[in-house]
Amino acid sequence: MATLSAELLPADRDRFSMLIRYLAKWFVFADPPYHTRARMLVNKAFSPTSAERLRPRTRAIVDDLLAEVRARGSMDFVGAFAQHLPVMVIAESMGVPVEHRMMIKEWSEEISGLFFIKANEPDRRERSQKGLAQLVDYLAPLVRERRAHPTDDLISALVLAEERGDLLSEEEVLATCTLLLFAGHESTTFTLVNGLLALLRHPDQWNRLRSDPALAKGAAEEILRYDGTVKATFRSIKETVVMGGKTLESGQRALLVLASANRDPAKFTDPDRFDISRSPNPHLAFGNGIHICLGAPLARVELQETFLALASTLPGLRLATDDIEYQITIVNRAATALPVEWQP
Amino acid sequence: MRALVVIEIDRDACVGSSVCVALAGEVFRLDSTGVSAVKNPAGASVADILEAAEGCPTMAITVRNVETGGVVFPRELGTGNGERGASP
């Protein structure tokens, strides 16, 4: 990642060389042509059509997770549900054993400190590099195994592409796997949480969804607009441009505040109102342009299936507290817990 | 070469991912506003055009048979979100 390298002192560049090297191979941070080469290898697996094929399996995982808690009458939605579903879906697609998901989550959490800018963690770069190294060490044998015995999972697809045309080096394959595994669940987890919070804080909207499941699609879009977890993304300015009367100089960095665009009164009528039937809803929660979120179609399926299931299987679902604590980060908004209760 | 398909692009749905350009650069281009446009509907095989349409992250591309006008992509997918509510 050029920006990480640029912000570090030379001595730190040595210290964080592994982190810099791998993140430069995350296509989300790369420019074409590498970006396009790497992304196109996995694009089909994340297309809307592919995401639809994962809908029945996603629904089954949702039902299993809810079946485990239903009789209890209460749960922490983060700990009992939201931190499991997305990592299970992405791990299964990739061919990573789902029973290792808590380990994967721990390393991802460490990695995330760098991007989400944990304000209270001055050692976030060290922790991010360590988390990434652990994830790479974990994935390397899986990648070797798929090279010897390919299956129909995503890791195999990447390995086969590598062998077919020397499209990606071994390190690029590993970097891409870490990217997919990491980016494939963190933000979905917290958008599920923010979404349930928004729905339960707007009982009129929650009741509309309960009585009309066809609103699930619109509800997912409105959740993304209203409180999608990724509030901003970074860009490095490559060429000086004038935008909105301001000059952005080559070499500067810009923070694109998606959350602000999503409440733009010029684009959205009554932007602070949460309305699950809002249409059109051209929100930017997944970004825009060549770096638009690869996993958007899959995240949509996960959001839709989760809220449909919650609406139909947990009667009287409500917040158990109004006192919600958030992680102290700059670019994402993530509740640390979401206690809810219902009639078992 | 004569075009075998008609390609329609939903400009409101397009997010400028340029996946279509990456997969079928002779057929699609991004216009000056960053939105996909058809350059030459005969610029690639139907299979490649369908691959580009399927790869679009927002399903902004519709492909029709040039003779019948029938939709070739997107095909019916069980995408209805009301399905669950309809079952017990």
Helix (H, G, I), strand (E, B) or coil at B68: coil
Which residue from B23, B81, B84 is facing A40, i.e. has the nearest CB? B23
CB contact under 8 A, A312 and B84: yes
> Which token pair is A217?
């699609």
- Mind listing the pLDDT tens digit for each residue in A18-56? 998 999 899 998 999 999 989 998 999 999 999 999 999
CB contact under 8 A, B81 and A312: no
Mean pLDDT of B15-22: 96
Q: Using CA atoms, how far apart are residues A197 and A190, in angstroms rounded to an integer?
A: 10
Q: How far is CA A117 from the centre of its chain?
A: 15
pLDDT over 90 (residue B76): no
Asked if A277 has any chain B CB less than 8 Å from its own CB, the reply is no
CB contact under 8 A, B17 and A309: no
Which residue from B23, B77, B82 is facing A213, i.e. has the nearest CB? B82
Asked if A297 has any chain B CB less than 8 Å from its own CB, the reply is yes
CB contact under 8 A, B16 and A290: yes
Distance between A318 CA and the closest CA of chain B, angstroms? 20
Helix H, strand E, coil C: the string for chain A is: CHHHHHHCCHHHHHHCHHHHHHHCCCHHHCCCCHHHHHHHHHHHHHCHHHHHHCHHHHHHHHHHHHHHHHHHCEEEHHHHHHCCHHHHHHHHHHCCCHHHHHHHHHHHHHHHHHHHCECCCCCHHHHHHHHHHHHHHHHHHHHHHHHHCCCCCHHHHHHHHHHHHCCCCHHHHHHHHHHHHHHCCHHHHHHHHHHHHHHHHCHHHHHHHHHCHHHHHHHHHHHHHHHCCECCEEEECCCCEEECCEEECCCCEEEECHHHHCCCCCCCCCCCCCCCCCCCCCCCCCCCHHHCCCCHHHHHHHHHHHHHHHHHHCCCCEECCCCCCECCECCECCECCCEEECCC
Share of chain A above pLDDT 90, in %: 74
Q: Using CA atoms, how far apart are residues A46 and B70, in angstroms rounded to an integer?
A: 26
- Which candidate in A47, A211, A284 is best for mutational testing of the B interface (most B CBs within 10 A)? A47
**A150 within 8 A of A104, measured Cβ to Cβ:** no
pLDDT at A69: 97
Helix (H, G, I), strand (E, B) or coil at B81: coil
CB contact under 8 A, A308 and B18: no
Chain B residue with Cα closest to A213: B82
Q: Using CA atoms, how far apart are residues A95 and A156, in angstroms rounded to an integer?
A: 8
CB contact under 8 A, A40 and B22: yes
State the residue for tokens 């209890």. A72
As for the ipTM of the complex, it is 0.87
Confidence band for A113, pLDDT divided at 50, 70 and 90? confident
CB contact under 8 A, B84 and A52: no
What phi, psi does A152 have (nearest 5°)?
-100, 20
Q: Using CA atoms, how far apart are residues A94 and A177, in angstroms rounded to an integer?
A: 8
Which residue from A52, A214, A305 is facing B78, i.e. has the nearest CB? A52
- Partners of residue A212 in chain B, C-beta under 8 Å: 82, 85
In order of A115, A125, A136, the CA distances from A8 in angstroms are 15, 10, 23
Which residue from B17, B59, B81 is facing A290, i.e. has the nearest CB? B17
- Mind listing the pLDDT tens digit for each residue in A302-326? 999 999 999 999 999 999 999 999 9
CB contact under 8 A, A290 and B77: no
Helix (H, G, I), strand (E, B) or coil at B71: strand
Asked if B77 has any chain A CB less than 8 Å from its own CB, the reply is yes
**A283 within 8 A of A225, measured Cβ to Cβ:** yes
CB contact under 8 A, A40 and B58: no
Mean pLDDT of A248-270: 95
Mean pLDDT of A164-169: 70
Asked if B57 has any chain A CB less than 8 Å from its own CB, the reply is yes
Asked if A49 has any chain B CB less than 8 Å from its own CB, the reply is yes
Chain B residue with Cα closest to A288: B15
pLDDT at A56: 97
Confidence band for A112, pLDDT divided at 50, 70 and 90? confident
Confidence band for A327, pLDDT divided at 50, 70 and 90? confident
Average pLDDT, chain A: 92
Check residues B36 and A333 and name the one with the higher pLDDT.
Answer: B36
Mean pLDDT of B2-27: 95
Of A259-263, B5-9, B84-88, least confident by mean pLDDT is: B84-88
Asked if B84 has any chain A CB less than 8 Å from its own CB, the reply is yes
Which residue from B12, B16, B51 is facing A288, i.e. has the nearest CB? B16
Q: Using CA atoms, how far apart are residues A286 and A32, in angstroms rounded to an integer?
A: 19
pLDDT at B81: 40
Q: Using CA atoms, how far apart are residues B45 and A199, in angstroms rounded to an integer?
A: 46
- Partners of residue A46 in chain B, C-beta under 8 Å: 57
